[in-house]
Amino acid sequence: GTAALHMAVAAVGVKQGDEVILPSFTFVATAETVVLAGAKPVFVDIDPETYNISPEAVNRAVTKKTGAIVAVDLYGSPADLKPIREIADKHGLKVIEDAAQAHGAVYDNRPVGAYADVACWSFYASKNMTTGEGGMITTDDDEIAEKLRLIRSHGEKEKYKSILLGHNYRMPEIEAAIGIVQLKKLPKFLEKRRKNAERLTAKLRPLKNLQLPLEPKGCRNSWYLYTVRVKDADRKKRDTIVERLKKEGIGAEVYYPWPIHLMPYYRKFGKGRLPETEKASEQVFSLPVHPGVTVEQIDFIGEAVSRLVGRG
């Protein structure tokens, strides 16, 4: 997935000195690849209900230096791409969709990636489908596709003749073979995740202090992660709940405890506050709904969360 993002940033024409608009509430690779291209990441705030990049914040951040916009489908929940696409078209910008967590997700009744110039996917071991390591890029732009093919293999148009700067980002055949088999299994994996998520939602819905995942009209979550928010929590209270869940054998985790703009390396790119991002990072945690989780385990998770959140 990281290699896919690195290639995408280069293929859409981002160059040294450009600015790239992206969320801070995501895995660090989203920003890492922008910096590797010599560009400046411009972090903007999120929607407090979906945790995805805010189109309004994107619009405010566009400058003459902007080279591209990166939208992330965080936790498998589709980003609001239609208004972002409109902003990009107005300013002649490319849109990269970081769909690393969104295999099988739907936005505006279309597969995620349809509104972006390039969509990047991860096949890391924890994802909805896997090749162990590796990733994929999708695009309907022939020019971008040709650049991606060149970048993937040292920029070579023909053997030993590079026409642009490239890398060795070729996927090994054994990983590709695993991916082909996994792709056939993806619908079954997604259905199990959805059933687990729906059952867990039914268990947790009575908890007024817990914000549950949303599925806006025309959208389908991939349920990579089932992320909840303790509305009145600070970081200490949220972390205490997570630790108690772990002691009960539940694989609760926090994604992501530190927004990128607050990480030591990335502070130099701007000191502006992102209040919704920072608040979410202190209040959210994720629960397992992957295909290996049984109905009985979902019920146990629901009961444990209800008990612990109820106690505070």
- Is pLDDT of 312 > 70? no
Q: What is the per-residue pLDDT across 159-168, written as a single tens digit (0 to 9) for each?
A: 999 999 999 9
Q: What is the per-residue pLDDT across 100-135, written as a single tens digit (0 to 9) for each?
A: 999 999 999 999 999 999 999 999 999 999 999 999
- Is pLDDT of 270 > 90? no
Radius of gyration for the alpha carbons in the chain, expressed in angstroms and rounded: 20
**Does the model's pTM come out above 0.75?**
yes
What is the structure's pLDDT at 45? 98
What is the structure's pLDDT at 310? 78
Q: Where in the chain are the domains?
A: 2-177, 187-311
Same fold, 2-177 and 187-311: no
Q: What is the per-residue pLDDT across 290-302, written as a single tens digit (0 to 9) for each?
A: 999 999 999 999 9
In whole numbers, what is the pLDDT of the chain averaged over residues?
97
Architecture in CATH of 2-177: 3-Layer(aba) Sandwich (3.40)
Pick the CATH number of 187-311 from 3.40.1350.10, 3.90.209.20, 3.90.1150.10, 3.30.565.10: 3.90.1150.10
Confidence category of residue 311, pLDDT binned at 50, 70, 90: low
